[in-house]
Structure 1
Amino acid sequence: MNSDIEIIKGRLTRLFKRRPKTRYWLMLTNDTYDQTYNLFFYSQRANERLQSVPLHKLAHYDLADLEKLLKALRQDIKLTIEFVGFTGERWPASQKLIQRKRVPLE
Protein backbone atom coordinates (compact mmCIF):
# COMPACT_ATOMS: atom_id res chain seq x y z
CA MET A 1 0.00 0.00 0.00
CA ASN A 2 2.83 2.42 0.80
CA SER A 3 4.42 1.81 -2.58
CA ASP A 4 1.10 2.64 -4.27
CA ILE A 5 0.92 5.96 -2.42
CA GLU A 6 4.49 6.84 -3.36
CA ILE A 7 3.87 5.99 -7.03
CA ILE A 8 0.70 8.11 -7.11
CA LYS A 9 2.37 11.08 -5.37
CA GLY A 10 5.37 10.92 -7.68
CA ARG A 11 3.23 10.94 -10.79
CA LEU A 12 1.00 13.71 -9.44
CA THR A 13 3.92 16.03 -8.73
CA ARG A 14 5.00 15.75 -12.37
CA LEU A 15 1.49 16.45 -13.71
CA PHE A 16 0.20 19.10 -11.29
CA LYS A 17 1.47 22.40 -12.73
CA ARG A 18 -0.63 24.95 -10.75
CA ARG A 19 -1.52 26.98 -13.82
CA PRO A 20 -4.04 29.82 -13.49
CA LYS A 21 -7.59 29.21 -14.75
CA THR A 22 -7.03 25.45 -14.68
CA ARG A 23 -9.15 22.91 -12.88
CA TYR A 24 -7.53 19.73 -11.50
CA TRP A 25 -9.17 16.64 -10.00
CA LEU A 26 -8.77 12.87 -9.61
CA MET A 27 -11.18 10.17 -10.74
CA LEU A 28 -11.25 6.75 -9.13
CA THR A 29 -13.01 4.06 -11.13
CA ASN A 30 -14.17 0.63 -10.01
CA ASP A 31 -13.41 -1.89 -12.75
CA THR A 32 -15.57 -4.84 -11.72
CA TYR A 33 -14.60 -6.91 -14.76
CA ASP A 34 -10.86 -6.88 -14.06
CA GLN A 35 -11.32 -6.59 -10.27
CA THR A 36 -9.13 -3.45 -10.08
CA TYR A 37 -9.38 0.20 -9.11
CA ASN A 38 -8.03 2.76 -11.60
CA LEU A 39 -6.94 6.28 -10.71
CA PHE A 40 -6.93 9.07 -13.32
CA PHE A 41 -5.67 12.66 -13.21
CA TYR A 42 -7.90 15.19 -14.95
CA SER A 43 -7.06 18.77 -15.87
CA GLN A 44 -8.90 21.38 -17.89
CA ARG A 45 -7.86 24.91 -18.69
CA ALA A 46 -10.49 27.53 -19.40
CA ASN A 47 -11.86 27.18 -22.95
CA GLU A 48 -9.66 24.16 -23.70
CA ARG A 49 -10.27 20.44 -23.95
CA LEU A 50 -10.31 18.03 -21.04
CA GLN A 51 -7.12 16.03 -20.46
CA SER A 52 -7.13 12.67 -18.72
CA VAL A 53 -3.97 10.84 -17.69
CA PRO A 54 -4.02 7.37 -16.10
CA LEU A 55 -2.10 7.55 -12.82
CA HIS A 56 -2.17 4.10 -11.29
CA LYS A 57 -3.95 0.76 -11.31
CA LEU A 58 -4.62 -0.79 -7.89
CA ALA A 59 -4.61 -4.54 -8.40
CA HIS A 60 -5.51 -5.35 -4.78
CA TYR A 61 -9.32 -5.30 -5.00
CA ASP A 62 -10.34 -4.65 -1.38
CA LEU A 63 -12.56 -1.74 -0.37
CA ALA A 64 -11.15 -1.50 3.16
CA ASP A 65 -7.60 -1.17 1.82
CA LEU A 66 -8.78 1.40 -0.71
CA GLU A 67 -10.32 3.44 2.10
CA LYS A 68 -7.00 3.42 4.01
CA LEU A 69 -5.08 4.38 0.88
CA LEU A 70 -7.39 7.31 0.13
CA LYS A 71 -7.21 8.50 3.73
CA ALA A 72 -3.41 8.56 3.56
CA LEU A 73 -3.48 10.18 0.12
CA ARG A 74 -5.89 12.93 1.18
CA GLN A 75 -3.53 14.03 3.95
CA ASP A 76 -1.02 15.24 1.37
CA ILE A 77 -3.12 15.88 -1.73
CA LYS A 78 -6.03 18.29 -1.53
CA LEU A 79 -7.59 17.56 -4.92
CA THR A 80 -11.23 16.61 -5.43
CA ILE A 81 -11.77 12.90 -6.00
CA GLU A 82 -14.70 11.76 -8.14
CA PHE A 83 -15.89 8.16 -7.94
CA VAL A 84 -17.24 6.11 -10.86
CA GLY A 85 -18.63 2.59 -10.54
CA PHE A 86 -19.25 2.72 -6.79
CA THR A 87 -23.02 3.38 -6.94
CA GLY A 88 -24.73 2.18 -3.77
CA GLU A 89 -21.52 0.91 -2.14
CA ARG A 90 -20.43 2.02 1.33
CA TRP A 91 -17.04 2.52 2.97
CA PRO A 92 -16.38 -0.36 5.40
CA ALA A 93 -15.21 1.76 8.36
CA SER A 94 -17.56 4.76 8.25
CA GLN A 95 -20.52 3.20 6.37
CA LYS A 96 -20.89 6.38 4.29
CA LEU A 97 -22.08 6.08 0.71
CA ILE A 98 -19.21 6.29 -1.76
CA GLN A 99 -21.27 7.40 -4.78
CA ARG A 100 -24.92 8.42 -4.67
CA LYS A 101 -25.96 8.61 -8.32
CA ARG A 102 -24.68 7.03 -11.48
CA VAL A 103 -22.66 9.31 -13.71
CA PRO A 104 -22.97 9.30 -17.52
CA LEU A 105 -19.67 7.39 -17.77
CA GLU A 106 -21.20 4.25 -16.23
Structure 2
Amino acid sequence: MIANDPYDQTYNVFFNSQRANERLQSVPLHKLAHYDLADLETLLKALRQKIKLTVEFVGFTGERWPKSQKLIQRKRVPLE
Protein backbone atom coordinates (compact mmCIF):
# COMPACT_ATOMS: atom_id res chain seq x y z
CA MET A 1 0.00 0.00 0.00
CA ILE A 2 1.18 3.50 -0.79
CA ALA A 3 -0.30 6.25 1.34
CA ASN A 4 -0.21 9.92 0.41
CA ASP A 5 0.55 12.18 3.38
CA PRO A 6 -0.05 15.73 2.16
CA TYR A 7 0.57 17.23 5.61
CA ASP A 8 4.16 15.96 5.85
CA GLN A 9 4.48 15.91 2.04
CA THR A 10 5.67 12.30 1.93
CA TYR A 11 4.57 8.99 0.45
CA ASN A 12 4.52 6.10 2.92
CA VAL A 13 4.95 2.50 1.74
CA PHE A 14 3.47 -0.39 3.72
CA PHE A 15 3.37 -4.17 3.26
CA ASN A 16 -0.09 -5.45 4.22
CA SER A 17 -0.85 -9.12 4.73
CA GLN A 18 -3.82 -11.01 6.09
CA ARG A 19 -4.41 -14.69 6.60
CA ALA A 20 -7.87 -16.21 6.60
CA ASN A 21 -9.81 -15.34 9.76
CA GLU A 22 -6.99 -13.16 11.10
CA ARG A 23 -6.47 -9.43 11.45
CA LEU A 24 -4.72 -7.33 8.84
CA GLN A 25 -1.02 -6.81 9.53
CA SER A 26 0.57 -3.65 8.19
CA VAL A 27 4.35 -3.28 8.22
CA PRO A 28 5.83 0.13 7.35
CA LEU A 29 8.57 -0.33 4.75
CA HIS A 30 9.69 3.09 3.63
CA LYS A 31 8.95 6.81 3.62
CA LEU A 32 9.56 8.68 0.36
CA ALA A 33 10.47 12.23 1.32
CA HIS A 34 10.77 13.36 -2.30
CA TYR A 35 7.15 14.47 -2.77
CA ASP A 36 6.80 14.41 -6.57
CA LEU A 37 3.99 12.48 -8.23
CA ALA A 38 5.84 12.14 -11.56
CA ASP A 39 8.82 10.53 -9.80
CA LEU A 40 6.48 8.20 -7.88
CA GLU A 41 4.90 7.14 -11.18
CA THR A 42 8.34 6.35 -12.65
CA LEU A 43 9.36 4.44 -9.50
CA LEU A 44 6.18 2.35 -9.52
CA LYS A 45 6.59 1.51 -13.19
CA ALA A 46 10.08 0.14 -12.51
CA LEU A 47 8.93 -1.63 -9.34
CA ARG A 48 6.05 -3.37 -11.12
CA GLN A 49 8.52 -4.88 -13.59
CA LYS A 50 10.43 -6.48 -10.69
CA ILE A 51 7.61 -7.60 -8.38
CA LYS A 52 4.15 -8.97 -9.02
CA LEU A 53 2.29 -7.63 -5.99
CA THR A 54 -0.94 -5.67 -5.90
CA VAL A 55 -0.40 -2.01 -5.05
CA GLU A 56 -3.21 -0.25 -3.21
CA PHE A 57 -3.38 3.54 -2.96
CA VAL A 58 -4.72 5.62 -0.06
CA GLY A 59 -5.03 9.39 -0.08
CA PHE A 60 -4.92 9.83 -3.87
CA THR A 61 -8.68 10.24 -4.44
CA GLY A 62 -9.37 12.02 -7.71
CA GLU A 63 -5.67 12.52 -8.57
CA ARG A 64 -4.17 11.48 -11.92
CA TRP A 65 -0.70 10.28 -12.87
CA PRO A 66 1.19 13.12 -14.59
CA LYS A 67 2.50 11.08 -17.56
CA SER A 68 -0.28 8.57 -18.30
CA GLN A 69 -3.19 10.71 -17.01
CA LYS A 70 -4.78 7.58 -15.52
CA LEU A 71 -6.82 8.00 -12.37
CA ILE A 72 -4.83 6.82 -9.34
CA GLN A 73 -7.69 6.18 -6.89
CA ARG A 74 -11.37 6.34 -7.80
CA LYS A 75 -13.07 6.57 -4.42
CA ARG A 76 -12.08 6.93 -0.80
CA VAL A 77 -11.34 3.82 1.23
CA PRO A 78 -12.46 3.42 4.86
CA LEU A 79 -8.92 4.24 6.07
CA GLU A 80 -9.16 7.84 4.83
TM-score, structure 1 length as denominator?
0.74
The one-letter code sitting in structure 1 at the alignment partner of 2:27 is V
Paired residue for 2:71, among 90, 93, 97? 97
Number of positions where the alignment pairs a residue of Structure 1 with one of Structure 2: 80
Hey, what does 2:17 align to over in structure 1?
A: 43
Pairwise CA distance, 1:102: 0.7
Q: CA RMSD in A?
A: 0.6
- Listed as ranges, the gaps of 5+ residues in structure 1 are 1-26
Which structure is higher in helix share? 1
Identity of aligned residues (%): 89
- Listed as ranges, the gaps of 5+ residues in structure 2 are none
Moved over 2 A (4+): none
Paired residue for 1:76, among 50, 57, 76? 50
Paired residue for 1:67, among 37, 41, 53? 41
Summarize deviations over 1:62-100 as a string: whole Å, max 9, x none: 000000000010001111011000011000111000000
Hey, what does 1:9 align to over in structure 2?
A: none
TM-score, structure 2 length as denominator?
0.97
